[in-house]
Amino acid sequence: MSLLSSAALGAAALTTVALTATIGAHPAAAATSTYAVTHATDPYSGRSVVVRWTPCVTSGGVTSTHPITYAVNTGGYLSRVTFVQRALAQVSADSGLRFRYVGTTSYVPRYAVLHYPTGNRLVFEAAQQRAATHAELVIGWVPGTRTNMFSGREAGVGTVSWTGSSRSQLRVVEGAALLKIGVPLRAGFTTGASVGSLLLHEIGHSVGLDHVGATSQIMYPVLGSYTPASYQSGDRTGLRLVGRPAGCFVTAPLAPPDPVAIARSAGVSVTL
Ligand SMILES: [Zn+2]
């Protein structure tokens, strides 16, 4: 999320920046779109599928819920755990995804910089995050100087990493949602440029939602006076598309991708 000055608002306005996924590109949102999700070709089925977490697994005729484990980097304020849980309750209500809190963490998600001959590429350090936190999702408040996931003036960022194979359906396996410390925001889950709206937006990215063109939705990329305090109809449609209504998986997941190791094995230098 970028921080932009805006005379119209009389204060700082906030711009969210698209999630940077490990794979794939995010097309610009149409002006009137109210929801957007990412599609990718699943090597398991050969079909284009919605990139999403595992809401449940059906194996041997038995369906079990898969709770997404998450850790919170509170930035020193333990009350933020409860705040995150309020946001995730909204995600659960609209998507059917379930979350399991595994504790606080001091880990700061970041990108590795892969130095390809054609230019640098930033990739989410999914495997490193999993190893450090034992959580599938990290939600946190961090100083802008502590991570390279903020490319500039963003107030927040959300990202996912997904993987699949001929034996494992494509799915999100690691995610992060970060809010930058020190950004002036309204407290609570209120309309306008509030910390609650920002958190819902970045968590939206971390469950697979992309930006939309309609200012009425949480997933609009710029926070302003029009920003709602909760997910709206388009956001909720997107949450269903990445949630339990989209169905259970029938294969076991793979470990989080380690693009750093892949790049290094290909002779590409990496800066961590
Ligand atoms: Zn965004």
3-state secondary structure of 60: coil
Length of the chain: 272
User: Taking the model in full, what pTM does it have?
Assistant: 0.88
pLDDT bracket for residue 102 (50, 70, 90): very high
* Distance between Cα 52 and ligand 1 center (Å): 17
pLDDT bracket for residue 25 (50, 70, 90): very low
pLDDT at site 104: 98
* Distance between Cα 205 and ligand 1 center (Å): 7
Question: What value does the mean pLDDT take over residues 122-147?
Answer: 96
* Distance between Cα 256 and ligand 1 center (Å): 22
* Distance between Cα 234 and ligand 1 center (Å): 15
* Distance between Cα 199 and ligand 1 center (Å): 10
* Distance between Cα 70 and ligand 1 center (Å): 20
* Distance between Cα 67 and ligand 1 center (Å): 24
* Distance between Cα 19 and ligand 1 center (Å): 6
3-state secondary structure of 238: helix
What is the side-by-side strand order in the sheet with 222-223?
Answer: 2-6, 11-15, 222-223
- Give rounded-to-5 percent helix, strand, coil for the chain: 20, 30, 50
* Distance between Cα 198 and ligand 1 center (Å): 9
How many helices and strands (H and E) does the chain possess? 5, 15
* Distance between Cα 5 and ligand 1 center (Å): 18
> Which residues, chain by chain, have CB under 5 Å from ion ligand 1?
16
pLDDT at site 12: 25
| Rounded-to-integer distance, Cα 129 and Cα 152, Å | 22
Q: How far is CA 68 from the centre of its chain?
A: 13
Q: DSSP code of 243? A: S
* Distance between Cα 111 and ligand 1 center (Å): 17
| Rounded-to-integer distance, Cα 72 and Cα 206, Å | 14
pLDDT bracket for residue 100 (50, 70, 90): very high
| Rounded-to-integer distance, Cα 170 and Cα 41, Å | 8
pLDDT at site 4: 29
* Distance between Cα 21 and ligand 1 center (Å): 12
Structural domains in the chain plus CATH codes: 10-250 (3.40.390.10)
pLDDT in tens, 219-241: 999 999 999 999 999 999 999 99
Q: By percentage, how much of the chain surpasses pLDDT 70?
A: 89
| Rounded-to-integer distance, Cα 258 and Cα 272, Å | 12
Mean of the per-residue pLDDT values for the chain? 89
What is the side-by-side strand order in the sheet with 156-163?
Answer: 99-104, 68-73, 137-142, 171-180, 156-163
* Distance between Cα 220 and ligand 1 center (Å): 7
pLDDT in tens, 155-211: 999 999 999 999 999 999 999 999 999 999 999 999 999 999 999 999 999 999 999
